[in-house]
Chain A
C-alpha cells in the first residue's frame, strides 16, 4: 500500500471514531443532566463546560457564562472549530476521497451520504430542538461505517491501518472522557459514603462509553469510581476499554509489521510494551494517581501515532 494513502486511511479511521465519541458525549451528558440527582450535575453550565473540556477547548474562567446554543453549535456543526463533529466528518471524507480506489464502494458511499447529511443539517433545528436526533443519527451512521469497514473490506494491510486509526482514536477518546468525568466527579460528589466514589458522574461516564448495561451485568452493583475505572481501563472484554483498544492496536500492528524481532524504536515494540504493562496492572495502582496515569496513557498513544507517521507514512 502506498505510504501516502496509508496515512490517509489511518486518519480516516481516527476521524470517524472521533466524531462518534463527541456525538455520544454530547447526547449522554446533556440528557442525563436533565434529571440528575444533584444540583450541580443538573446545571446546564456544568454540562456545557464538561463538553468543552472533553473536546479540548476548556473554559478557562469560572465566571464566564456560556451560551447553550453557541456551545452546541461549536461542538456539533461549526466548520470553523477543528473539534466539531462536522469537521471530523469532513476530514474523514477528505481522507477517504484520496484513497477511494482502495476502499469499497459501499464504504465510500455510506461515508459520503453521511457527510452530506451532516453538512446539510439545519443549524437552527440542531441547537433548538434536534440535539437528540442529530447525535443519535451520527452514532448510528458511524456504527454503519464500522460495519462496512469490517464487512466489506479485505482484511489485509488496508484494513489493519484503518483499524489502527480507529482503535488508537478510541483509546484516546475513552481516556479523555474518563479524564473529563473524573474531574466532574471531583466537583459533583455523591450523597453518601465516599462521596467521590459514589458520584452520579460514574454512571454518566459508563453511558458515555456505551458500557453501562454490560458493566451492571458484570458487577451487579451500582457503579463506583473503582469498578468503573477498572471496567473501562483494564477489562479486555469490554469493547470500549483501553485494554481492548490496545489489544486491537497490537493485533493490527503485527499485520502491518511482520518482522520477527522488533527494534525498540518500532511502533510494534511500543504498542507491545504498553499492552503488556496494562495486562498485569491492578486498578489500585492506577488509583494511586488517576490523573497522572490518564495523562501517561494519552502521551503514550500520541507517541505511538507519531511513530507510525515516521515508520509507515513517510513519503
Chain B
C-alpha cells in the first residue's frame, strides 16, 4: 500500500485472501476510479473522520430518519447505520445493470399478465404448474383482471451482488412493496452535508429525480378516461417501520399520503375525505401488503385497507401500484426460472446473471442439497427481510442436521444456492475506529409505466456490518452507503 495512507484512516485496512474488494486490486493497488476518493479520505486522521461520522449521524437524526426501539421506560429513536465511504459504479457497468434490471422487470410483467390470463408459459411447459398452484402469493381474485396499461410491477427493487468473478448476479427480485429508495436519497443528503468537497472530483448522477419520475410513470398508468389523475400514496400509518419513506415519497411527489381510513368507495369509485368533502382518487401507490388492501376481498379483519377497493380496481376505476398478486413472480422458486421467462417473452438472453438454484421440490436436486448443505445457502421461498436463511459453512454439525430435517419436511418451501461471495467494500467500523472489509449488495429501483421505464441511477448499497456476515438486510443489522453512478 502507498505510504500516504499508512498512518491515517486506511492504515490498518486488511485485505483478506479470496474476497473481491471493490476498491483495491488483488495486488493492493487502488482501482483507478477510487484513486481520487482514497486520496481525499486517506489524508484524514481517524479523529477527523469520527467527527465527520457524527455529523452525518446528526444529519439523519435531525431529518427524522429514525426507527423506534422499544425499551423498558421510554422508546428510543435510532438511526440506520450509514457509512460515509461511498461506493462507485462506473458508467459502463451501470449500463449493464440498468438494461438488465429493465429487462427483468419487463419479463416479469409479461409473466404476471400471462399467469393471470392464458397461462401460456405453463401450457408450453416452461414453468411447472405446481409453482403457481402451491404458491400462497397467487391471487385467484386477479384472474382475468386487466390492470391499466397492462402493468403489474410498477415498482421493482432488484437485489444485485458482485461475485468474486467480478460479474453482477441478481439475488432476488422484489416486486411487492420494495422499500429503501428514500435511504438512497437520504444517504446522498447526509454525505453531501458531511463531505461536500468530494463531489467536486466526481461527476455523479443525481438521485433526487426519483419521485418526479415515479409520479410521471404513475400518472401514465391512470385508469382509462381520466384526464388529470389524482395520485395518492397509501401507508399503514406512522408506526410502520417504512413510514418515513412513505411520507418522503408523498411529499416529493406532491401528493397526499393517505391511510385506509381516509379513503372510501362509493359506486366502485374511490374517494378521499378532505376538508372540502370527497375527492376522487385515480392512482393509488400502495405500501400496504396485498392481503390487507381490502377487508371485503382479502383479510376480513384488516383495518389498514379500504372496503371495496378491490372491486373498484376490477372495474378499472382505480389503478393500484403495484398490482395485487405480484408476489407470485418474486418468490425464490420462480426466481430460478427468470432466465427462461426472459427468453420466453422477450426472446432475449438475460443481461444479468442468475445464481444457480437448486429446487428442493425436485427429488434429485433435493438429494444434492441434502448431501452438500455445507456449501450452500438454504432459503425459504417466501420470506422477506433475510429471515430463515441458513448459510451452510456457518453451521455446526447439529445445525446441519436440523436444517436437513426442516427441508425434508417441506421441500417446496426451500431452495438452495451455492454460497456466493458478495464483494467487499471498505467500511468504517465504529467500535474499532478503523476501516474494514464488509460485504455489500445493491438494490436498484426500476419503475414501469405506460410504454416507458425508469431506473434510478444509483441504488441502495447495503452493508453487512458484522464481520464475515453475508446478510445485508437492515432487519439483520445491515447498514448502507451512498452509491455513485458516474457520468461518462
B122 smallest CB distance to A (angstroms): 42
A104: nearest residue on chain B (CB-CB)? Answer: B251
- B262 near A109 with CB under 8 A, answer no
| B338 interfacial by beta-carbon distance below 8 Å | no
- B275 near A109 with CB under 8 A, answer no
> B residues within 8 A CB of A1?
256, 274-276
> B residues within 8 A CB of A105?
63, 251
> A residues within 8 A CB of B243?
97
Q: Given A2, A109, A256, which contacts B256 in the complex, CB threshold below 8 Å?
A: A2
User: A2-B256, A109-B64, A116-B61 given as contacts; is B247 within 8 A of A315 (CB)?
Assistant: no
> A residues within 8 A CB of B238?
97-98
- A108 near B256 with CB under 8 A, answer no
A173 smallest CB distance to B (angstroms): 25
CA distance A16 to B353 in the complex (A): 55
CA distance A101 to B237 in the complex (A): 13
> B residues within 8 A CB of A112?
61-64
CA distance A82 to B247 in the complex (A): 28
Which residues 259-316 of B sit at the A interface, judged by CB distance below 8 A? 259, 261-262, 272-276
The contact size tier of chain B is 20 to 34
CA distance A1 to B256 in the complex (A): 8
A298 smallest CB distance to B (angstroms): 26
> A residues within 8 A CB of B74?
79
> B residues within 8 A CB of A97?
64, 238, 243, 247
> A residues within 8 A CB of B274?
1-3, 6
Main DSSP-derived SS at the A contact region = helix
CA distance A111 to B243 in the complex (A): 18
- A100 near B247 with CB under 8 A, answer yes
- B273 near A3 with CB under 8 A, answer yes
| B250 interfacial by beta-carbon distance below 8 Å | yes
Which residues 225-248 of B sit at the A interface, judged by CB distance below 8 A? 233, 237-238, 243-244, 246-248
> A residues within 8 A CB of B456?
none
- B62 near A2 with CB under 8 A, answer no
Q: Which residue, B61, B237, B262, B274, has most C-beta atoms of chain A within 10 A? A: B274
| B257 interfacial by beta-carbon distance below 8 Å | yes
CA distance A300 to B481 in the complex (A): 55
| A4 interfacial by beta-carbon distance below 8 Å | yes
CA distance A66 to B244 in the complex (A): 44
| B258 interfacial by beta-carbon distance below 8 Å | yes
> B residues within 8 A CB of A281?
none
> B residues within 8 A CB of A312?
275
> A residues within 8 A CB of B272?
2
Q: Given B237, B250, B262, which contacts A315 in the complex, CB threshold below 8 Å?
A: B262
A258 smallest CB distance to B (angstroms): 9
Q: Which residue, A2, A100, A105, A109, has most C-beta atoms of chain B within 10 A? A: A2
CA distance A101 to B273 in the complex (A): 17
> B residues within 8 A CB of A5?
256-257, 262
> B residues within 8 A CB of A100?
64, 244, 247-248, 251, 257
User: A97-B238, A101-B251, A101-B256 given as contacts; is B275 within 8 A of A3 (CB)?
Assistant: yes
CA distance A5 to B237 in the complex (A): 12
| A102 interfacial by beta-carbon distance below 8 Å | yes
> A residues within 8 A CB of B233?
101
- A109 near B273 with CB under 8 A, answer no
- A6 near B64 with CB under 8 A, answer no
Q: Which B residues have a C-beta under 8 Å from some C-beta of A?
A: 61-64, 74, 233, 237-238, 243-244, 246-248, 250-251, 255-259, 261-262, 272-276
Known pairs A1-B275, A105-B251, A112-B62; list 14 more (Cβ under 8 Å).
A1-B256, A1-B274, A3-B274, A4-B273, A5-B257, A97-B64, A97-B243, A100-B64, A101-B246, A101-B247, A109-B64, A157-B275, A312-B275, A315-B261
Q: Which A residues have a C-beta under 8 Å from some C-beta of B?
A: 1-6, 79, 97-98, 100-102, 105, 108-109, 112-113, 116, 157, 161, 256, 312-313, 315
Closest 10 CB pairs of A and B: A101-B250, A100-B247, A101-B251, A101-B257, A112-B64, A312-B275, A101-B247, A315-B273, A6-B275, A3-B273
